[in-house]
Chains A and B, each alone.
Chain A
Amino acid sequence: MSLSGLTDQQAKEFHEQFKVTYTAFVGLAALAHLFVIAANPWF
Chain B
Amino acid sequence: MSDIAKPKNPDDDWKIWLVVNPATWLMPILFSVLVIALAVHAVVFSIGLGW
A2 to B16, CA, bound (A): 11
Chain B interface residue bracket vs A: 10 to 19
Q: Is the CB of B15 within 8 A of A11?
A: yes
How many A-B Cβ pairs are below 8 Å? 37
Which of B13, B14, B19 lies at the interface centre, i.e. has the most chain A CB atoms within 10 A of its CB? B14
Main secondary structure of the interface of B (DSSP, over half): helix
Secondary structure class of chain A's binding surface, majority of residues: helix
A42 and B49 contact, CB distance less than 8 A = yes
- The number of residues on chain A lying at the interface, defined by a beta carbon within 8 Å of a beta carbon of chain B, is 16
B33 → chain A, closest Cβ, in Å?
8
A4 touches B19 (CB 8 A): yes
